[in-house]
Amino acid sequence: MARLSSFFIFSFFLQVALFATCCRGELKEQQHQLPKKHVPFFIFGDSILDAGNNNYINTSTLDQANFWPYGLTFFNYPTGRFSDGRLIPDFIAKYAKLPLIPPFLQPGFRQYYLGVNFASAGAGALVETFQGFVIDLKTQLRYYYKVDSWLRHKLGNDEAKATMSRAVHLFSIGTNDYASPFLTNSTILNNYNKSTYVGMVIGNLTTVINGIYKRGGRKFAFINLPDLGCVPGMRIIKSGNNGSCFEEVTRLASLHNKALSKLLYGLEKRLKGFKYSLFDLNSNLRQRMEHPSKYGFKEGETACCGTGEYRGVLSCGGKRPVKEFQLCKHPQKYVFWDSLHLTESTYKQLADQMWGGTTSDSHDVGPYNIKQLFRIH
């Protein structure tokens, strides 16, 4: 039995090594074949976008997904992605004819011509959000500056700035800033009214956007926040809630989405050449939760992996404080993968909308979709 276990462990690490080698080789090969006006893809944010950066930091298993059954339906092994398979940026990269964009902290990866992923599960726009366990947005910006310096060294200042101006910068941030006070019993919300707290989150995001803009970045894509109180993990926060949505955190998300829309509209007016895509995850996810069969799902509210009511306890994989968990047989039939994250099937549908959705639909994406951002020079 011990030999069998050793064989499986060896096989797992062999697959990971081969995958990493393959990715590095593919990127190195493409370095010599890059079209003159290639479009890099840079990714910032939290677990919706994290391709595995948290594998390489000293953190809690609550902020990691590098164990089974994460990754079971596509990669066939855990990559650090909080899903059964691929995430939104993986599909966007595919549609843009790019390879999978690797995490910035992946050992041995130092080829940034096509972009890199800075996102960290649990991260917020506020440094204080899960501080010490995640890579906050400000630190992600510092990593971006390192990549910018690397490109300037390799390409020269003018070509590097032109490359950054063609790049698409994708963001998903804010969820943890609003959820963490309730998940950790923090009293921070006692010190600020809701509008002030949201203003702090938006203010930090604005600083990062301006930092990227000053380095040449002109094309940005943003994902707004879902009804946070309605995801499985937040429904069970309050005892006696009877499974209804946790309205207090949903109100914060709603204020954030309004402030984000206002911010981006203002930046477009103020910053020359600034172009953006804002995807309405809020309404798109709500539609799938309320009408799952319309989108090919059987279950819109209960997660595929976890335990408790709605499988809202983040126990998937048995490596976290709660060890017991249940796993559904057909993840593709579920909207939610675990208590806080979505299945590959859901992410693909959302990525499709972000990539090619009509910009005339206010409940979809606009003023540009991501396909248009990649094609604008």
- pLDDT score recorded for residue 359: 63
- pLDDT score recorded for residue 185: 82
Euclidean distance between the first and final Cα of the chain, in Å? 58
Give 229-274 pLDDT, tens digit per residue. Answer: 999 999 998 766 777 999 999 999 999 999 999 999 999 999 999 9
Mean pLDDT across the chain: 91
Asked if 136 is an active-site residue, the reply is no
Q: Which one of the listed residues 46, 47, 277, 339 is annotated catalytic?
A: 47
Identify any residues that bridge with 172 across adjacent strands, giving them in sequence order: 45
Q: How far apart are CA 329 and CA 322, in angstroms?
A: 21
Contact between 171 and 41 under an 8 Å Cβ cutoff? The reply is no
Asked if 341 is an active-site residue, the reply is yes
- pLDDT score recorded for residue 361: 56
DSSP strand pairing (219-223 vs 275-279): parallel
Q: Classify each residue of 56-85 as buried b or exposed e, where b means 16 or more C-beta atoms within 10 Å of its C-beta.
A: beebeeebbbbbebbbbbebebbbbbbbbb
Domain residues of the chain, as ranges?
36-291+346-375
Q: Which one of the listed residues 90, 177, 338, 364 is annotated catalytic?
A: 338
- Least confident segment among 21-35, 96-110, 143-157, 307-321: 21-35
Give 112-159 pLDDT, tens digit per residue. Answer: 999 999 999 999 999 999 999 999 999 999 999 999 999 999 999 999
CATH architecture, domain defined by 36-291+346-375: 3-Layer(aba) Sandwich (3.40)
- pTM of this prediction? 0.90
Asked if 148 is an active-site residue, the reply is no
Give 80-102 pLDDT, tens digit per residue. Answer: 999 999 999 999 999 999 999 99
